[in-house]
Structure 1
Amino acid sequence: MGSSPHFPDASPSPAHGLPRPSTPAGRDGLAALLARPEKAVIALDFDGTLAEIVPDPEQARAHPGAAPALARLAPRVGHVAVVTGRPAGVAVRYGGFAGVDGLAHLVVLGHYGSERWDAISGTVNTPAPHPGVAAVRAELPGYLDRFGAWHGTWIEEKGQAVAVHTRRAEDPAAAFEALREPLATLAARHGLVLEPGRMVLELRPPGMDKGVALAEYIREVGAESVLYAGDDLGDLPAYAAVEKLRSDGLAGVLVCSGSTEVSELADRADLLLAGPDAVVSFLASLADALSG
């Protein structure tokens, strides 16, 4: 983990009252989005971006203003997507997205894009489970028993993946580091990959990440600009995808939802926002700017 990033007060854009990206590429991306919102994608991580990080992931819920802000914004832009490592249906429930007026075209790309929920049909399309996930699920409790650092950790069943959380351990960072290599070995033995995050180690099938999911979705809808907001290591592939798309001529804005645990995103972001509350305020301001 890097040092704690600093999240300064973003200077507002005089024209729109929006926070001003700190980089030329970010300012160009925001300008393109505002000029042709019908060709834009707004893509957002869930945990840490729309919802606060909490010790028990099952208790996570979207910021109370998230769904209303998205409902105001969605009719004014081409596409809105939530891109998350959670199962798509779980993100829909915890986000309160189903049946909300204004979110008729929301898409949730769950399990790093291997699942998809859309508000129009209200259904989740999901692939067959990877056999390695079932094998890891059966082996994991006994496997953790071999390591003294595991006490206080918690296993989260995610359908297409399994995660080990260390946030409730006596020393979360020490437990995270002690388990990282053994869990990587276990994942590889069953044909899975290990995805580290904010005090969580997720074992999941290879081949999909947020960057792949985001790039495929942007190509599918024919977007000309994209804004992506995230907070964790799992969002770095999405950042890389936006950076690649920018090099190919597509306009993009990278937003970091503030974290004192992860600095890698802040170092690459165009716009730093101090957590879900600030993200929701930004989405509401963006809706205001597009309604004029």
Structure 2
Amino acid sequence: MTETAPPTPTESAVALAAALKKLAASERVLLALDFDGTLAPFVDKPKAARALPAATAALEKLERMPNTWVAFVSGRPLSSLEVVTEADDDALLIGSHGVEVRFGRDGVSLDLSDEERATLARLGDVLGALVESIPGTRLEVKPVGFGVHYRELDQDEGPDVVARAYEAAATVSDALTIRDGKDIIEFSVRGADKGDGIERLREYTAATAVLFAGDDVTDEDGFRVLRPEAGDVGIKVGEGDTLAQFRLADEEAIATMLTLLVEARGSRS
């Protein structure tokens, strides 16, 4: 069996440029973008995060183009995503890994059952107690669950926090949806993922081609539903194994890519 050498950086750049050109020529284009670590650098105060100015400028231009939609697809609760994206009333937003959906002015109710609400309350109690016992951790309240952040701890302390969080959550239910992200472990009483969100966006916009970019392991669910054969483009930001066809280094590289996409989409015949 002959092994194929991985593409060189130049070959990858040429391939990405060709894929973006094909995407830009598509009739109806959806840009579905993760926020933290993709458009915006990570910051200590989550509500202070903002997309890089160059990315914001490019997205504003793309949104004004015919048959072109921009959507933000995030693990953040919808209320937080609305703040950091500075979304207007017409924005397309997917929050809480696909659980919350806002298509313009119309939101989607969660409609939690009494059982789900009771489980959510118990989950908050046990994870809250855990966080109080581990200095440097933080509990994030989400619409259908909780996230235990441990970014401020030393790297070798993370696995112990995750293990203890698993043990605590298991005392509440064995049917929780669990996601392990960058310096966070999340537990939810209802399952959905970014792939679900992207598919709903695709249907809503009737997109003929979709670009999705993300940096976290939870974004792999989004890459999984893309259709490269139809012109979809998946871009992994940073390091790590991925299903995406392409990789860019950081948020600045994403901003540059979006600027190039503005030119390509605007000049199509």
- Aligned partners of 2:100, 2:150: CA distance in 1, in Å? 26
Amino acid at match of 2:60: A
Q: Deviations over 1:145-198 (max 9, x none)?
A: 66xxx33111122233211111112x1x32321122332343343342221111
Partner of 2:96: 111
> Which of the residues 208, 224, 238 maps onto 2:222?
238
Letter matched to residue 215 of structure 2: D
Whether the aligned pair in 2 keeps the contact of 1:197 and 1:234 (CA below 8 Å) is yes
Q: 4+ residue runs of structure 1 moved beyond 4 angstroms?
A: 8-12
What SS does structure 2 have at the residue aligned with 1:20?
Answer: helix
Cα deviation 1:84-113 (Å, max 9, x = unaligned): 1111231121112326xxxx5x30111122
Is 2:23 aligned against 1:33?
Answer: yes
* Deviation of the 1:234 alpha carbon: 0.7
Is 1:136 aligned with 2:123? yes
Alignment of 1:176 with 2:161, yes or no, is no
Summarize the alignment of residues 37-116 of structure 1 with structure 2, pairs less than 5 Å apart: 38-76=27-65, 77-98=67-88, 104=90, 106-116=91-101
Distance in 2, Cα, partners of 1:289 & 1:251:
15
Task: Sort the Cα spacing of 1:135 and 1:65 in 2 relative to 1 into closer, same or farther, 3 A.
Answer: farther
Deviation string, structure 1 residues 117-137 (Cα, Å, up to 9, x no partner): 244x2x543313442322211
**How does the TM-score come out when normalised to structure 1?**
0.77
Identity %: 27
Is 1:164 matched with 2:148?
yes
SS for the counterpart of 2:14 is coil
Q: Give the Cα separation in 1 of the matches to 2:190 and 2:167.
A: 14
Q: What SS does structure 2 have at the residue aligned with 1:21?
A: helix
- Cα gap change, 1:183/1:98 in structure 2, threshold over 3 Å: closer, same or farther? same
The verdict on how the C-alpha distance between 1:230 and 1:21 changes in structure 2, with shifts beyond 3 A counting, is farther
* 1:250 is aligned to 2:235: no
CA contact (8 A) 2:62 2:69 kept: no
1:34 and 1:290 in contact (8 A); partners too? yes
- Name 1:197's counterpart in structure 2: 181
| Equivalent residue, structure 2, for 1:15 | none
Instruction: Answer yes or no: is 1:280 the counterpart of 2:255.
Output: yes
CA shift at 1:211, angstroms? 1.1
Q: Is the 8 Å Cα contact of residues 85 and 111 (structure 1) preserved in structure 2?
A: yes
With the length of structure 2 as denominator, give the TM-score of the two structures. 0.83
When residues 59 and 161 of structure 1 are mapped into structure 2, their CA distance, relative to the original with a 3 A threshold, is farther
Q: Residue 187 of structure 1 contacts residue 194 of structure 1 at CA under 8 Å; is this kept in 2?
A: no
Unaligned runs of 5+ in 2: 1-7
RMSD of aligned C-alpha atoms?
A: 2.6
C-alpha distance in 1, partners of 2:24/2:53? 25
Question: CA, structure 1 residues 125+78, in 2 after alignment: closer, same or farther (shift >3 Å)?
Answer: same
Contact 1:73-1:284 within 8 A present in 2 as well? no
Amino acid at match of 1:258: G
CA, structure 1 residues 33+180, in 2 after alignment: closer, same or farther (shift >3 Å)? Answer: same
2:14 aligns with 20
Match of 1:264 in 2: 241
Contact 1:163/1:200, CA 8 A, preserved across alignment: yes
Q: Alpha-carbon deviations, 1:33-59, whole Å to 9, x = none?
A: 1222x3221110011111112233233
